[in-house]
Amino acid sequence: MTTTLGALLDEAGLPDAPAGSADLRVTGLAYDSRRVVPGAVFVAVPGEHTDGHRHALAAVEAGAVAVVAQHAPEPPLPADVPLVLVRDTQRALAPLAAALQGHPSRSLTVAGVTGTDGKTTTTTMLQAAWRGAGIAAGSLTTVDFRLRDRIEPNTSRQTTLESADLQERLRTALDAGATHVAVETSSHALVLHRVDAVDFGCAVFTRITSEHLDFHGTRDAYLAAKASLLTRAAQRHGALAVLDRDDDFAFPTLHAMPIDRRLSYSSGGDAGADLVARGVRVDASGVHFSALTPWGEADVDLRLAGRFNVANALAALAAACGTGASLDGAVRGLSALDRVSGRMERVDLGQPFSVVIDYAHTAEALRTVLSELRAATGGRLWAVFGSAGRRDTAKRPAMGRVAAELCERIVVTDEDPREEDSRSIVEQIAGGARDATHRDGEELFLIPDRGEAIRFAVDHAAPGDTVLLAGKGHESTMILAAGPVPWDERAVAEQAVRDRLARQGSTA
């Protein structure tokens, strides 16, 4: 979209354009100098690895017509390039992006979905429920971007896109005729202003436990970050909050917050909830239950594995029906969803044991997934997992203890070690498993190379065993000290299974 520098700054509530530059034509916005196109305004955002102020001159040389910064960039800009100084460029980026795109969220029903676990699945379910009811809808998740029936992988490794990219996606959805969009909304995005200019009409909460304490500091601060989504949504007339009544930690706080409408759900059968699951049944085809809702009762048949998906489905039903979907249509949409990449995703090539890929990367998520698989496994349960480098270190021994409580075999391996020493991360996880009496070389194996770790588990799995590959899920890269390298968890697992089947066939 095209505007002038003066109009853009005014619409975003930022300082006036420098003298003589108000009528400058603006055709884009960029916060990465490598993505600047002629006519763009470059916003110099300080980042974790580099500072945009150092790249402002490169942005101008690439065609940026103005720079928004917190201080004069170094190297200095040419004298004729307008420089707009603000206190916080990260905060300024969101209103600039929304203004440039014409505030698309104001013309959409945008549902933000947050929580610790289940965000991606619930967001995807919500889009499916809307679609089943005939609503033109999209979704933006860690895994992919969906717009009506189109699916595009999310290769950014961001749960919630940076504000400029997010606003552009919302504009695209609106231009394509969508009326509803579900946005997976991380605590980082809420704190780092990525969703500041999104006009949320619905705030959906999955279970909130504990994660990213390296970033938030305390569990209460983490909850406060999550709760800010409800505060944002409450600014829109008629907005809806969808809350997990079974969440003893977060529900009291969230339920007490003011908003025009709220619905609660309970997969545990709490009769005080607005939506309740009854008669939950799990079999090889998926998960089945009856949903008691304000719009009537419906039988729900999910093709997804995992009893915990009952809660995700109830949250999606509440949000979908609370924003215009019919109950029958929403249920039809949920039943049509066959899988969410990297979420309880089975690898089945005819081997006599199960291989499951899941994104679980916290102790609580690991416990949930392993508990589900433990109940469905006749043989031994294996867990192959690690913990990301330069991230929440306190969870590492806790993950080891959880795995040792529920698994007969643990293989500790890499998961994006980044600049940290891989062996040190593995040892911290292993310490928790050893505390739970698992012994090296018997129940516990330390294999930092993830490909080797997966092959080891697949090669040693017995008939009736289940091998869980946790932590990477859908991700397409592994981040090492030297940077990201391509990674495909499913492809590695499938090749390991094929190799084992081929060896067995050759000796048969």
Here the CATH number for the domain that contains residue 25 is 3.40.1390.10
pLDDT: is 376 or 66 the higher one? 66
Predicted model pTM: 0.85
pLDDT tops 60 at residue 506:
no
pLDDT band for position 210 (cuts 50, 70, 90): low
Q: Do 328 and 371 sit in the same domain of this protein? A: no
Per-residue pLDDT at 217: 72
Q: Do 265 and 127 sit in the same domain of this protein? A: yes
pLDDT tops 80 at residue 282:
yes
Q: Do 113 and 237 sit in the same domain of this protein? A: yes
Q: Do 258 and 143 sit in the same domain of this protein? A: yes
Domain end marker among 100, 130, 161: 100
Q: Edge to edge, what strands does the sheet with 40-43 contain?
A: 28-30, 40-43, 66-69, 83-85
Q: What is the pLDDT of residues 450-494, one digit of tens each?
A: 999 999 999 999 999 999 999 999 898 999 999 999 999 999 999
Could you list the residue range(s) of the whole structural domain that residue 493 is in?
Answer: 345-507
Q: How far apart, in whole angstroms, are the C-alpha atoms of residue 104 and residue 146?
A: 17
Per-residue pLDDT at 145: 97
Q: What CATH number corresponds to the domain at position 194?
A: 3.40.1190.10
pLDDT band for position 366 (cuts 50, 70, 90): very high
Per-residue pLDDT at 305: 85
What single letter denotes the amino acid at residue 326? S
Q: Do 92 and 19 sit in the same domain of this protein? A: yes
Number of domains in the chain: 3
Q: Do 306 and 378 sit in the same domain of this protein? A: no
Residue 84: closest CA among 10, 191, 28: 10
pLDDT band for position 407 (cuts 50, 70, 90): very high
Q: Stretch 211-222: mean pLDDT, rounded?
A: 75
What single letter denotes the amino acid at residue 441? G
What single letter denotes the amino acid at residue 491? A
Q: What is the pLDDT of residues 148-205, one digit of tens each?
A: 999 999 988 788 999 999 999 999 999 999 999 999 999 999 999 999 999 999 999 9
Could you tell me which residues are beta bridge partners of residue 168? none
pLDDT: is 338 or 413 the higher one? 413
Could you tell me which residues are beta bridge partners of residue 4? 25
Per-residue pLDDT at 390: 84
Q: How far apart, in whole angstroms, are the C-alpha atoms of residue 355 and residue 363?
A: 20
Q: Do 238 and 314 sit in the same domain of this protein? A: yes
pLDDT tops 50 at residue 507:
no
Q: Do 309 and 378 sit in the same domain of this protein? A: no
The percentage of residues in the chain with a pLDDT greater than 90, rounded to a whole number, is 84
- How would you class 111 by CB atoms within 10 Å of its CB: exposed for 0-12, middle for 13-18, buried for 19 or more? buried
pLDDT tops 70 at residue 239:
yes
Q: Do 173 and 245 sit in the same domain of this protein? A: yes
Q: Do 162 and 225 sit in the same domain of this protein? A: yes
Domain end marker among 74, 100, 126: 100
Domain end marker among 336, 361, 377: 336
Per-residue pLDDT at 78: 95
Q: What CATH number corresponds to the domain at position 376?
A: 3.90.190.20
The percentage of residues in the chain with a pLDDT greater than 70, rounded to a whole number, is 98
Q: Stretch 256-280: mean pLDDT, rounded?
A: 96
* Residue 310 CB neighbour total at 10 angstroms: 22
Under a CB-based contact definition with an 8 Å cutoff, are residues 82 and 181 in contact?
no
Q: How far apart, in whole angstroms, are the C-alpha atoms of residue 166 and residue 160?
A: 8
Q: Measure the CA angle with vertex 482, ends 481 and 486; round to 5°.
A: 100
Q: Stretch 288-314: mean pLDDT, rounded?
A: 95
Q: What is the pLDDT of residues 42-76, one digit of tens each?
A: 999 998 778 999 999 999 999 999 999 999 999 99
Per-residue pLDDT at 114: 97
Could you tell me how many residues make up the chain?
508
Per-residue pLDDT at 361: 87
Per-residue pLDDT at 213: 61
Q: Average model confidence (pLDDT) for the chain?
A: 94
Catalogue the long-range contacts made by 475-481 (C-beta closer than 8 Å, 24 or more residues apart): 475/157, 475/342, 476/153, 476/155, 477/157, 478/414, 478/416, 478/450, 479/388, 479/389, 479/416, 479/417, 479/418, 480/416, 480/417, 480/418, 481/417, 481/418, 481/419
Q: Do 41 and 77 sit in the same domain of this protein? A: yes
Q: Do 331 and 309 sit in the same domain of this protein? A: yes
pLDDT band for position 508 (cuts 50, 70, 90): very low
Q: How far apart, in whole angstroms, are the C-alpha atoms of residue 46 and residue 67?
A: 14
